[in-house]
Structure 1
């Protein structure tokens, strides 16, 4: 297992620092202002390389120097460094997006990505909801509703049509709400509760969030899967509307929450 220092150095290298730059920067965080000799002693970077490395850090805007004989060095604060890197990478990705869009690219496949756990599943759900421009179809249980309600509300406020199927009796004060009775649905301990979310008929997240079995949620833009999940959610919207008007008659014929049909088809 990596130590906290090793992980910090690793992340700095992911953000464009060299091994020596990362070590010198972390050394300065722990003791500053510091001379080249002190930096070398604390970081393990050869003394002959310290001046070169500190000059590169100064050029990057993450360190400053003061005084002479000895020249002393101080680091940019961690908060300011993170803000600086965030701004730079945001600008970098925006420029990259512009240039990549100028290429004549047509995808010849639509990947299906497995999401490793419940946390990542809802992180991705909020991400695609934040991208929505036209419609959002969602099927979600009451227990997980708070995890995406803010993102759904923000989408509704920017004019997106938000349709939500809630397994349970909870509701929302925006969008179009349909409640799905959970009586007679059977235990969900094995696979866990489900999450379905389709955005703009272009991308979706769907699967079981995990219980005894591990999380089995996917994200995809595959048109066939997206259309299937959207139709599946819409079908439950239809049933909710029908049950609103003919609930007693349906329960009399098929049982509470379609129990007789569930038993017949083992669902």
Structure 2
């Protein structure tokens, strides 16, 4: 990077850098002389020199004919450095007291199984109070370490898994009996996690490599997703109490249950 480009990186315009550099090469100088030496159009040179004067980089003779002198680089840039440091310190002080914004809705799209699992792992790592998760066995090897650490630091972890697997959690629920039904109904493997009732990941896992998901802090979606997980757990407990045959019989007798269980 040449001298002129480095000056531009410090806030000088291209014309200002050229005019100051030309004036260092020859001073004192008249405006038209600086214009010729710097190859700045004559119609622009006095505007440029005025800006350099206001910046503290140029002095003029205040008499006719007006002659221009450069402020020497060590003085100019030392002053600029001091001003920059003052501005940075003032800005840091101001930014230290920026008031927090009210909560707002934010949603990110997630792509791929690895992307979904990575975001779930991030939420687990950041959780402070509780985690509700609905996961598939193939996800557990990627998440179990973070789940174990969450439990160790006192986070209450409820893990519902669509299959038998060893998962680190405060409470576990095996949803294997309804996993096939859920997969047939929606045509995909849905996974979810809710942390501290504030944020959620919803994932649609695909064996064909087209897994997609979302991460959001939208309160209504967090609430609905937690209801989804707790609903599955409640149904699982009820089926365990009344037996699968009784549950299936009830579903056959209720038109609404038959409709809800139809494949989408």
What TM bracket, shorter-length normalisation?
Answer: 0.5 to 0.7
Task: Tell me how far 1:171 sits from its aligned partner.
Answer: 3.8
CA drift of 1:192 comes to: 4.3
2:98 aligned with 1:103: yes
**CA shift for structure 1 position 125:** 0.8
Gaps of 5+ in 2: 1-90
Q: 1:247 to 1:224 in 2, by over 3 A?
A: same
The Cα of 1:234 is off from its aligned counterpart by: 1.0
Equivalenced residue count is: 169
- Backbone CA RMSD of aligned residues: 3.2
Q: Summarize the Cα distance change of 1:252–1:169 in structure 2 as closer, same or farther, 3 Å threshold.
A: farther
Instruction: Determine if the alignment matches structure 1 residue 183 to structure 2 residue 180.
Output: yes
Q: Match for 1:247 among 235, 240, 243? A: 243
Q: Deviations over 1:47-89 (max 9, x none)?
A: xxxxxxxxxxxxxxxxxxxxxxxxxxxxxxxxxxxxxxxxxxx
Change (3 A) 1:251 1:197: same
Question: What is the distance in 1 between the residues matched to 2:226 and 2:93?
Answer: 31
Could you report, residue by residue, the CA deviation over 1:149-174 in whole angstroms, capped at 9, with x for unpaired residues?
11111101111100011011224354
Residue from 202, 206, 218 that aligns with 1:210 = 206
Gaps of 5+ in 1: 1-95
Indicate whether 1:150 and 2:145 are aligned: yes
TM-score normalised according to structure 2 size: 0.56
Evaluate the alpha carbon distance shift between residue 104 and residue 266 of structure 1 in structure 2; reply closer, same or farther with a 3 A threshold.
Answer: same
Q: Secondary structure at the match of 1:104?
A: coil
1:129–1:108 Cα change, 3 Å: closer
CA contact (8 A) 1:191 1:215 kept: no
**Between Structure 1 and Structure 2, whose CA radius of gyration is higher?**
2
| TM-score under structure 1 length normalisation | 0.55
